[in-house]
Amino acid sequence: MDFTFTEEQQAAVEAAKAVFSSVTPDSVPSPALTAGAVAEDFDRALWRKLAESDLLGLSLDPQYGGSGLDPLALCLVLRECGRVLARVPLLESSAAALAVQRYGGAELRTAVLPRAASGELVLTTASSGRTGHGPAELAVQARRNGDGWVLDGVQTAVPWAHGAERVLIPAHTGEGRTILALVPRDHEGVVLDEQISTSGERQAEIRLDGVRLADREVLASDGAWEWLRDLLTTGTCALALGLGSAVLDLTSSYVSEREQFGFPLASFQAVAVQTADRYIDLRAMEATLWQAAWRLSLDEERPTASGALPIAGDVAVAKIWAAEGVRRVVQTAQHLHGGFGAVTDYPLHRYHAWGKQLELSLGSAAAHEEALGELLAAHPLG
């Protein structure tokens, strides 16, 4: 197998590194010192730079102003985004735009995608459901009304909702089907209540009360929600990998310079073993992430190898490693930094908060292991 990234994918990484090189994790007030949100809006200046570097339309077709790359390239850029805790809805907006491209009608694609690629139109997604537990699609009900749809329900913890123009929301029809509705934030019947994430960012509980949408604003194709959910999860794993890599670099630098008893901390065996274990965690996170991203990037008509698990299996494995790995990396970093890790003018505490937010977003590793076991039982390997 060839694990080498293509020239186009590597170019996307270099462009992302150039854009994110000016970003500092401490660009907003500390979540530990702020009662409310650390900022009212996401980083608009950084968003414009991403648009100018053609990174917002990275995976969109050239006809819509994109670069035509695959979700794997998007995950590579998200990894760089996670390294610096970039405060932009890159994952959510990109995933929503890709879902529209893949499952939306021609009229919706033409209206949405060029503006999303240029950064003019900001999208986000709702994927937490009513409480953060259970299937997100069951939190909102969609019913037919003439030539359109009516939505009722609640979605919680919607990231960047106050700064996005449209929210892509899953909803169930009561007939065992799930649709995706692209809902304008200021649409009649839509109410946003502010919530604050563990990382201090502004989120929203979105309540839908008789929200009416035309057919063209709804993605009703089978598999649309499952594909979007897998992409969001894999992208979150990429953010976790970037964050974990930055934290390990920060820790390695600290223990190499900090001395006890006249010797650097890094020279002590107990410290070396702990950092080596976290390095192994990151390599496992990386391998499982690229496997899931590669499966997402395969053409939908390309046959799956005989006996292979559905893509949900690869995503579950990536989630298990990302959720557990990012927690262990951050906890070890805090332990090895001692009290210095809690100093609010040092960036580790902010990485800790973001790492916990990503861990919560991914969910319990035990639950993913159970789901993977059920999948293996239903699809015995050939």
CATH number of the domain residue 292 falls in: 1.20.140.10
Task: Write out the residue range of the structural domain in which residue 288 sits.
Answer: 224-378
Q: Pick the more confident residue, 213 or 261.
A: 213
Mean pLDDT, residues 255-280 taken together: 87
Predicted local confidence at residue 301, as pLDDT: 40
> Rounded to an integer, what distance in angstroms lies between the CA atom of residue 108 and that of residue 216?
6
| Cα 161 from chain centroid (whole Å) | 14
Do 374 and 267 fall within a single domain? yes
Report for 74-78, 251-255, 264-268, 362-366: range of highest mean pLDDT: 74-78
Q: Check if the beta carbon of residue 55 is closer than 8 Å to that of residue 19.
A: yes
Do 210 and 228 fall within a single domain? no
Query: In the structure, what pLDDT confidence band is assigned to residue 304 with cuts at 50, 70 and 90?
Result: low
Q: Is residue 130 part of a domain?
A: no
Mean pLDDT, residues 245-252 taken together: 95
> Rounded to an integer, what distance in angstroms lies between the CA atom of residue 295 and that of residue 314?
8
The CA dihedral of 380, 313, 132, 55, to the nearest 10 degrees, is: -160
Q: Is residue 105 part of a domain?
A: yes
Q: Which two tokens stand for residue 33?
A: 């010192």
Query: In the structure, what pLDDT confidence band is assigned to residue 131 with cuts at 50, 70 and 90?
Result: confident
Predicted local confidence at residue 303, as pLDDT: 46
Do 31 and 115 fall within a single domain? yes
Inter-CA distances, 376 with 237, 263, 293, 296, 380, Å: 22, 50, 20, 19, 6
**Which of 40-49, 76-85, 172-181 has the weakest average pLDDT?**
172-181
Do 228 and 371 fall within a single domain? yes
Do 118 and 166 fall within a single domain? no
Q: Is residue 129 part of a domain?
A: no
Inter-CA distances, 307 with 295, 310, 377, 380, Å: 15, 9, 12, 7
Q: Is residue 64 part of a domain?
A: yes
Predicted local confidence at residue 68, as pLDDT: 95
The CA dihedral of 45, 359, 235, 155, to the nearest 10 degrees, is: -80
Do 175 and 144 fall within a single domain? yes
End-to-end CA distance of the chain: 20
* Type of residue found at 235: G
Identify which of 159, 153, 218 has the alpha carbon closest to the alpha carbon of residue 191.
153
